Amino acid sequence: MIVLNQIKKIFNTNSGCVTAVDSVNLSIRKGEIFGIIGYSGAGKSTLIRMLNLLERPTEGTVTIDGKDLTQISSKELRLARQQIGMVFQHFNLLWSRTVFENIAFSLEIAGVKKEEIKPQVLELIQLVGLSGKEDNYPSQLSGGQKQRVGIARALANNPKVLLCDEATSALDPQTTDEILDLLVQINKKYNLTIVLITHEMHVIQKICHHVAIMESGRIVEQGDVLTVFSNPQHPVTERFVKQVASEDDSIETVEHLIKKFPKGKIVLLKYLKEKAEQPFITNVIRNYQVDINIIQGKVVQTQEGGYGSLYVQLTGLEIIPALNYLKEVGVEVEVIS
């Protein structure tokens, strides 16, 4: 559905040339929710703006639904953009227009007949949960309601792709989850391809099928979300995963665990959710001369399944054989002390 081939973006500044996006290759399948995550300055905002050529690549090609957007005329590009909706971080609503008028605006620009606009807008208002708010102005709405208007407006022209540029970063946690649930609903209802950028791993964990991690303008790791969560390969990815999985192994935390549980070994166990259905802890206690004290743990749910992490203290005579058994049944073992 979306193919980026050797995309590069160089900005000319007073202090010289700055490479914001550097030789990025991505392939995004139709109907999936694809997340792009990175810290501030990673290049993710520039990258997503090149998907609809709000930023034109310095090098490389952007192909959407078989059409290379970098090679078409300005008129063709305007038509192609109608098939690419965009939701912004700060809503970008017209403050002098009502909810109804904001959503209708994109249809008016596209030349839709007046008598066809009203039923389409009312359907979208119902879809995003704003029935009864048609005549309200943006100043009368909460942040979450404003973003719902932005989503409805982005869907007005029945796009094939929806781009979300930090669409939840200005919202509180509860409202963020509500907006993410709405995006999942829209994705399933319309089989709509959604590409979102974020600096919050919770967003990736909750709704994305695949993720790409950016640093310094490059994709440093990508894959399906469950695989990336369970086996991160790059230090930046590990930092993001630990935000959600509560695997903070900072020196202070490790030292605290060692002082509080000085005997035996402190071990971090990582496993996919299906492993949690197997009694591997019980088997260790039954079959080895080992006592296990569970310190803390968490299971993180993704669109493709769950991933768990568990800190335990092992004491006894057969710690090493017990750890070998855990590895054999597919549990990842990291000895902390």
**pLDDT tens per residue, range 23-54:** 999 999 999 999 999 999 999 999 999 999 99
Using the structure block, give the residue that is written with the tokens 């905002």. 45
Share of the chain above pLDDT 90, in %: 59
Residues 223 and 265 reside in one and the same domain: no
Burial class (CB in 10 A: 0-12, 13-18, 19+), 202: middle
Convert the pLDDT of each residue in 204-230 to its tens digit.
988 999 999 999 999 999 999 988 887
Residues 92 and 236 reside in one and the same domain: yes
Residues 159 and 186 reside in one and the same domain: yes
Residue 232 has pLDDT above 60, yes or no: yes
Residue 268 confidence (pLDDT): 85
Residues 130 and 191 reside in one and the same domain: yes
Chosen domain end from 209, 244, 279: 244
Chosen domain end from 229, 244, 259: 244
Convert the pLDDT of each residue in 317-331 to its tens digit.
999 999 999 988 888
Residue 142 confidence (pLDDT): 94
| Number of domains forming the structure of the chain | 2
Residues 77 and 197 reside in one and the same domain: yes
Residue 257 confidence (pLDDT): 64
Residues 263 and 238 reside in one and the same domain: no
Q: Which CATH number fits the domain that encloses residue 265?
A: 3.30.70.260
Residue 258 confidence (pLDDT): 66
Treating both helix axes as pointing N-terminal to C-terminal, what angle do 143-155 and 173-190 enclose, rounded to 10 degrees? 20
Residue 246 confidence (pLDDT): 56
Angle at 86 between CA 85 and CA 88, to 5 degrees: 160
Residues 15 and 105 reside in one and the same domain: yes
Residue 228 confidence (pLDDT): 86
Q: Beta strand 33-37 with 210-215: parallel, antiparallel or unpaired?
A: parallel
Residue 47 confidence (pLDDT): 95
Q: Beta strand 305-316 with 290-302: parallel, antiparallel or unpaired?
A: antiparallel
Residues 173 and 290 reside in one and the same domain: no
H or E element that contains 283: helix 280-287
Residue 11 has pLDDT above 90, yes or no: yes
Residues 190 and 101 reside in one and the same domain: yes
Mean pLDDT of 72-101: 92
Average pLDDT, the chain: 89
Residues 230 and 300 reside in one and the same domain: no
The rounded distance, in Å, linking the Cα atoms of 261 and 82 is 60
Q: Which domain holds residue 112?
A: 2-244
Residue 250 confidence (pLDDT): 46
Buried b (16+ CB within 10 A) or exposed e, 93-131: beeeebbbbbbbbbbeeeeeeeeebeebbeebbebbebe
Residues 224 and 271 reside in one and the same domain: no
Chosen domain end from 219, 244, 269: 244
Residues 39 and 122 reside in one and the same domain: yes
Tokens representing 119 are: 């039923």
Convert the pLDDT of each residue in 243-299 to its tens digit.
776 555 544 556 666 676 677 888 888 877 665 567 888 899 999 999 988 887 777
Q: Which CATH number fits the domain that encloses residue 163?
A: 3.40.50.300
